[in-house]
């Protein structure tokens, strides 16, 4: 299936925001794959997942509020994980989804675990992509340094070269074509004709407060996913998920595989062969369960 083979799906948040997802068709007799993106990312991030698995599986790739084609929030203080949880569950309820396989990258992984605290029975399986219950300070500071800056570019090539300059340590093997692909997933052409990041710059406001990520024990949320088929992916160069936390997750999440994706940092794009093989293996386990 190609990345253009989807229907646009819209639903409303509790306060009436119009939210968007890409809906790639698949069989109704197996769980849908529910894809939840990272802080500054959107549904386009999961094009590799759709290319690999849509058709055999229904794939729902979401734009959190303030990203992609979803409405921006009126108040920036709603850009927090528990609000995203409520938004996702509103979609789950509207579609009457009984079971899903979640794929959560970074923030999307945290949202997945918080949903598991409320509705553990929803998950037939889960993929947690490069995030854990202990989040490394260096990685958080790196993200705080760039999120919400509002930079824009005159051409896609300028955007790609800027990405390469900022993120070569994350994807050291990328060619310029790869940076162009990444730029077109992360950015869009604005009304002024310039290319800019495809999110509300106000998402940075709650995240900029270090206390928002301190002194919160996330282990119970992650452990709520245990006991079902699951997968934790870690980029070998990640500065957000440490090897020690990754190893501890393997010990404390029964039923989960732990797979390192070589030569990438935070976060694997899920186009990597190692990531796709691991996801395929997880989906086979879900069907066999």
**Residue carrying structure tokens 């569950």:** 89
Confidence of residue 206 (pLDDT cuts 50, 70, 90): confident
CB 257 within 8 A of CB 204: no
Please name which of 104, 111, 154 lies closest in space to residue 130, comparing C-alpha atoms.
104
For the chain, domain boundaries: 7-138+203-288, 149-198
Q: Half-sphere exposure of residue 198, counting CA atoms within 13 Å on the CB side?
A: 22
Q: How many C-beta neighbours within 10 Å does residue 8 have? A: 10
Question: What whole-number percentage of the chain has pLDDT above 70?
Answer: 97
* Token pair belonging to 233: 């992916």
DSSP, collapsed to helix, strand or coil, labels residue 188 as: strand
Which phi and psi angles does 58 have, rounded to 5°? -75, 130
Stated pTM of the model: 0.96
How do residues 102-159 score in pLDDT, each as one tens digit?
999 999 999 999 999 999 999 999 999 999 999 998 888 888 877 878 889 999 999 9
Q: How many C-beta neighbours within 10 Å does residue 2 have? A: 10
**Residue carrying structure tokens 């992916």:** 233
User: What pLDDT sits at residue 140?
Assistant: 85
**Rg, C-alpha atoms of the chain:** 18
Please name which of 39, 169, 170 lies closest in space to residue 106, comparing C-alpha atoms.
39
User: What pLDDT sits at residue 207?
Assistant: 76
Q: Which CATH architecture has domain 7-138+203-288?
A: 3-Layer(aba) Sandwich (3.40)
User: What pLDDT sits at residue 216?
Assistant: 80
Which phi and psi angles does 183 have, rounded to 5°? -60, -40
How do residues 256-271 score in pLDDT, each as one tens digit?
999 999 999 999 999 9
User: What pLDDT sits at residue 52?
Assistant: 98
Question: What whole-number percentage of the chain has pLDDT above 90?
Answer: 88
Distance CA 35, CA 30 (A): 16
User: What pLDDT sits at residue 1?
Assistant: 61
Q: Which region among 92-96, 178-182, 198-202, 203-207 has the lowest average model confidence (pLDDT)? A: 203-207
Distance CA 87, CA 227 (A): 26
User: What pLDDT sits at residue 213?
Assistant: 56
Please name which of 271, 274, 266 lies closest in space to residue 105, comparing C-alpha atoms.
266
Please name which of 34, 64, 67 lies closest in space to residue 50, comparing C-alpha atoms.
34
Mean pLDDT of 191-207: 93
Which phi and psi angles does 233 have, rounded to 5°? -105, 140
User: What pLDDT sits at residue 77?
Assistant: 94
- β-partners of residue 120 are none
User: What pLDDT sits at residue 2?
Assistant: 66
pLDDT averaged over every residue in the chain: 95
């Amino acid at each position: 299936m190609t990345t253009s083979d989807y229907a646009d799906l819209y639903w409303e948040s509790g306060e009436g925001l119009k939210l968007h997802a890409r809906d790639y068709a698949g069989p109704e007799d197996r769980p849908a794959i529910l894809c939840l993106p990272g802080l500054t990312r959107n549904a386009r991030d999961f094009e590799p997942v759709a290319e690999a698995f849509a058709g055999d599986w229904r794939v729902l790739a979401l734009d959190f509020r303030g990203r992609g084609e979803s409405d921006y929030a009126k108040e920036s203080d709603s850009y927090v994980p528990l609000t995203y949880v409520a938004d996702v569950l509103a979609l789950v309820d509207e579609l009457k989804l009984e079971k899903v396989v979640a794929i959560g990258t970074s923030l999307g992984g945290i949202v997945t675990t918080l949903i598991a605290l409320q509705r553990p029975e929803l998950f037939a399986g889960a993929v947690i992509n490069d995030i854990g219950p202990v989040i490394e300070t260096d990685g958080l500071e790196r993200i705080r340094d760039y999120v919400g800056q509002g930079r824009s570019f005159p051409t896609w090539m300028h955007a790609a070269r800027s990405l390469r300059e900022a993120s070569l340590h994350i994807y050291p093997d990328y060619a310029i074509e790869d940076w162009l692909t990444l730029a077109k997933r992360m950015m869009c052409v604005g009304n002024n004709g310039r290319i800019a990041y495809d999110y509300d710059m106000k998402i940075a406001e709650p995240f900029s407060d270090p206390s928002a990520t301190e002194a919160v024990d996330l282990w119970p949320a992650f452990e709520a996913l245990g006991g079902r088929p699951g997968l934790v992916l870690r980029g070998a160069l990640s500065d957000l998920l440490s090897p020690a936390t990754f190893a501890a997750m393997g010990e404390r999440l029964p039923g989960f595989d732990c797979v390192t994706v070589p030569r990438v940092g935070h976060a694997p794009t899920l186009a990597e062969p190692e990531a796709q093989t691991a996801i395929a293996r997880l989906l086979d386990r879900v069907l066999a369960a």
